[in-house]
Amino acid sequence: MEVVEIRLVIDDKQYETASAGDAEKLLKQRGAFAIMVDGRPRELSFISQAPEDGVIHGLTFASKEGREIYRHSAAHILAHAVRELFPDARFAIGPAIEDGFYYDFDVPAPFTPEDLEAIEKRMLEIIKRNSPFVRKEMSRGEALDMFGRMGEAYKTELLESLQDETVSVYEEGGFADLCRGPHVPSAGTIKAVKLLSVAGAYWRGDEKRKMLQRIYGTAFTAASDLKKHMELLEEIKKRDHRKLGRELDLFSINEEIGAGLILWHPNGAIIRKTMEDFWRDEHLKASYKLLYSPHMARLDLWKTSGHWDFYRENMYSPMKVEEVEYEIKPMNCPFHIAVYKSGLRSYRDLPVRYAELGTVYRFERSGVLHGLMRVRGFTQDDAHIFAREDQIGEEIKLILDFTLFILNTFGFEDYNIYLSTRPEKYVGTDESWALATEALKAALEHKGLKYEIDPGEGVFYGPKIDIKVKDSLGRAWQCSTIQVDFNNPERFDVTYRGEDGKPQRPIMIHRALMGSLERFFGILIEHYAGAFPLWLTPVQVDVLTIAERHNEFARQVADALRKEGIRAEENFDNEKIGYKIRQSAVRKVPYSVIIGDREVEEGGTALSIRKRSGESLGPFTLSALTDLLKEEIKTRR
């Protein structure tokens, strides 16, 4: 009987082989270009050194780890191409990122679009040469000497910051780069590659350091997959919330006011009002109490909360008011605690649920600001719940139900859920962290929700659940969060009177459903490509006239719709009706009412309706049209 020496798992399928040679052959046949041994990714060739008593996972492009190795190898080839075309270039870092890779270069002049074309062409030539990736290990001193002689100051700086005495260098086709690895077996493993763009990036993200040139690219194992990805990127460009924000007159950012600060235009403001009204109404139904709090507070408050110690890098410099230091608020929680402490609380009063649409301010470097998605001032749909320990589990279940209801109403029905555990810097006892983490975990499992553990990504005061919604293009966005906090009740001496008449310490839950209103709005714009559902859209009906003689009756129709709470606008411009219809379509207005001679003669009993999709409806009576619109708005379809 043959003794099985190596067990393999490739894309969740199990295999058994009798030798390292057979195993490597099978891995290549199944599309694996690296392996995972004892939780560590390694080159495919490492199979000969792998222990025989463990399971070896073959890494293909289907796995996250496999994609990272594949695209990191493409970044190496990018650097090789730049070395051949731009000998004066100096090299920084080139990691894989979601959906692609980048490499940072120090070059005398910025790369041009023509440069990118030439670099991509040279990459394809290097891939065709199919030189192997060869791993070489050397002492840190040897590597410093090697890269020092090459004049690679960025590599030597990286080496000087490492603690490891042994480092690895990967060589391919005569080009060597400092890298932890692993890489694919050879350059020819990369089948389809595309360079996307170039941008400036400060070395190590420090705006005081030199601005480098960052080339972005992507790579796939098949040209057809690359083609699909490029089509997706084109669709993403069309849906870019900054582009649609201008076209639909939703919001703007004015540099005279300040970067990262949003101006909501009338169209955007009416959507925001609709979102806020819905949010407030549903919170009142769910037994929350609404609050408003100031935009700043004394610095001592943030020292008590721990933000000054743990969050200072995201806060602005304090200001002095009558010799007392004040800080613009990065969070709402201390204010909610102050409201809770304004009166005596009994165990019978708990849980106490406070909610606020509170505007906060956080320092973000200019290089990371991005439209509505990354800003310096934003409104958080914040809530804080003060509960007894025996109420925590049920409260988290209620929050989960509430969160998914809100997300579903806005059109998000697909999401990923993560349970984030204790970070390196934290406050509180290990026992408290364990209790809070278990409460979150138990609630998720009770609701039957699938989740992943996100190690070390909790906030400094407690573990959390994060929910990332998936938009219509399948992209994941961080929105909702639920955080258990034992720390602030202790720091602020928050209590309630227990059944025994003695002071007890409540547990605090921080909770946001949409997260930032600005960011959530940006996600909504891209999710719907600006064609919002009727209940959200700023203009729900356009009333269009064919000729000037129809204006008076058309105005009566628009007024009647507005009296019923429907957002109707009039277009009586001296233009052809076809042009007006196209204007409404460009503005993504859901319904247009077209008024001509017949509609006027019928006196509102036979209105012609056109949907933004181009579908014609009707004839409708004004009453029937109103009922149709109100029902669609009510059901938020």
170 and 273 both lie in a single domain:
no
Cβ-contact 542, 567 below 8 angstroms = no
Question: According to the model, what pLDDT value does residue 618 have?
Answer: 75
> Quick check: is 299 in a domain?
yes
Is 333 part of the annotated catalytic residue set? yes
Q: Which of 42, 80, 272, 362 is catalytic?
A: 362
Question: What CATH number corresponds to the domain at position 617?
Answer: 3.40.50.800
Query: Does residue 5 have a pLDDT over 80?
Result: no
Which of 67, 229, 376, 380 is an active site residue? 380
User: How many CA atoms within 13 Å lie on the side-chain side of 82?
Assistant: 29
Are 591 and 476 part of one and the same domain? no
* Count of structural domains, the chain: 4
Spatial contact of 35 and 59, defined as CB atoms under 8 Å apart:
yes
Residue 4: pLDDT band (50, 70, 90) is: very low
503 and 441 part of one domain = yes
Is-catalytic flag, 380? yes
What pLDDT score does 1 carry?
Answer: 31
**For residues 166-184, average pLDDT:** 95
Q: Distance (Å, rounded) from C-alpha 568 to C-alpha 595?
A: 14
Question: How much is the average pLDDT of 370-385?
Answer: 95
Residues 85 and 214 both lie in one domain = yes
Same domain, 159 and 38: no
Assess if residue 587 is contained within a domain.
yes
User: What would the mean pLDDT of 627-634 be, rounded to a whole number?
Assistant: 95
Q: Taking 70 as the threshold, does the pLDDT of residue 160 lie above it?
A: yes
Per residue in 119-144, is it b (16+ CB within 10 Å) or e — as a string? bbebbeebbeeebebebeeeeeeebb
- Of residues 10 and 298, the one with the higher pLDDT is 298
- Rounded Cα distance between 100 and 190, Å, is 13
pLDDT at 3 over 80: no
Q: pLDDT (tens digit, 9 = 90+) per residue, 254-292?
A: 999 999 999 999 999 999 999 999 999 999 999 999 999
Return the higher-pLDDT residue of 394 and 55. 394
Q: Which of 60, 78, 98 is the last residue of a domain?
A: 60
Measure the CA–CA gap between 86 and 107, rounded to whole angstroms.
8
On whether the CB atoms of residues 411 and 531 are closer than 8 A, the answer is no
- Give the burial string for 369-401 (b: 16+ CB within 10 Å, else e): eebbbbbbbbbbbbbbbbbbeebbbebbebbbe
Options 104, 115, 177, 382, the catalytic residue: 382
Pair 434, 473 in one domain = yes
Among 186, 179, 33, 176, smallest CA distance to 96 is for 179
- Are both 51 and 78 inside the same structural domain? no
Diameter over CA atoms, the chain: 96
* In contact, 119 and 85? CB cutoff 8 Å: yes
CA distance 309 to 425: 11
Q: Residue 53 has what pLDDT?
A: 65
Is 264 found in the same domain as 203? no
Catalytic-role residue among 183, 510, 511, 587: 510
What is the predicted pLDDT for the residue at 52?
Answer: 67
Q: Is the pLDDT of residue 377 over 80?
A: yes
Which pLDDT band, with edges at 50, 70 and 90, does 325 fall under?
very high
Secondary element (H or E) of residue 571:
strand 568-571
Query: Active-site residue among 80, 214, 345, 384?
Result: 384
In sequence order, the 6+-apart residues with CB closer than 8 A to the CB of 626 are 560, 561, 564, 566
| DSSP letters spanning 316-335 | PPPEEETTEEEEE-S-SHHH
pLDDT digits (tens, 9 = 90+) for 437-476: 998 999 999 999 999 999 988 887 789 999 999 999 999 9
- Give the helix, strand, coil percentages of the chain, each rounded to 5: 40, 30, 30
Beta-bridged to residue 462, according to DSSP, are 459
- CATH code at position 19: 3.10.20
Three-class SS of 105-167: EECCCCCCHHHHHHHHHHHHHHHHHCCEEEEEEEEHHHHHHHHHHCCCHHHHHHHHHCCCCEE
Predicted local confidence at residue 427, as pLDDT: 77
What average pLDDT does the chain have? 93
464 a catalytic residue: yes
Examine the domain organization and report whether 357 and 496 are in the same domain: yes
Question: Tell me: the pLDDT tens digits for 49-68?
Answer: 877 667 889 999 999 999 99
Catalytic residue among 333, 336, 345, 391: 333
Helix (H, G, I), strand (E, B) or coil at 604: coil
Identify the H or E element spanning 6.
strand 6-10
Position 514 in a domain: yes
- Asked whether the bond before 334 is cis by omega within 30 degrees of 0, the reply is no
Kindly indicate the confidence band of residue 371, based on its pLDDT and cuts at 50, 70 and 90. very high
Residue 238 neighbours by CB distance under 10 Å: 12
- Give DSSP secondary structure letters for 319-375: EEETTEEEEE-S-SHHHHHHHHTTS--BTTT--EEEEEEEEEE----GGG-BTTTB-
Residues 382 and 513 in one domain: yes
384 is catalytic: yes
Query: What CA–CA distance (Å, rounded) separates 91 from 109?
Result: 14
Looking at mean pLDDT, say which of 308-312, 381-385, 419-423, 451-455 comes out highest. 381-385
Residues 450, 587: one domain?
A: no
Does residue 535 form part of some domain? no
Q: Report the alpha-carbon distance of residue 599 to residue 556 in Å, rounded.
A: 12
How large is the average pLDDT for residues 85-92?
A: 96
CA 100 – CA 80 distance, rounded (Å): 17
Question: For a pLDDT cut of 70, what percent of the chain falls above it?
Answer: 99
Q: Are residues 455 and 389 in the same domain?
A: yes
Q: What is the pLDDT of residues 548-588, one digit of tens each?
A: 999 999 999 999 999 999 999 999 999 999 999 999 999 99
Q: Which domain holds residue 94?
A: 69-230
CA proximity to 92, closest of 195, 179, 218 = 179
Out of 15, 40, 60, pick the residue that ends a domain.
Answer: 60
Q: How far, in Å, CA of 98 to CA of 96, rounded? A: 7
Task: List all residues 6 or more positions away from 123 whose beta carbon is below 8 Å from its beta carbon.
Answer: 74, 77, 78, 80, 81, 193, 195
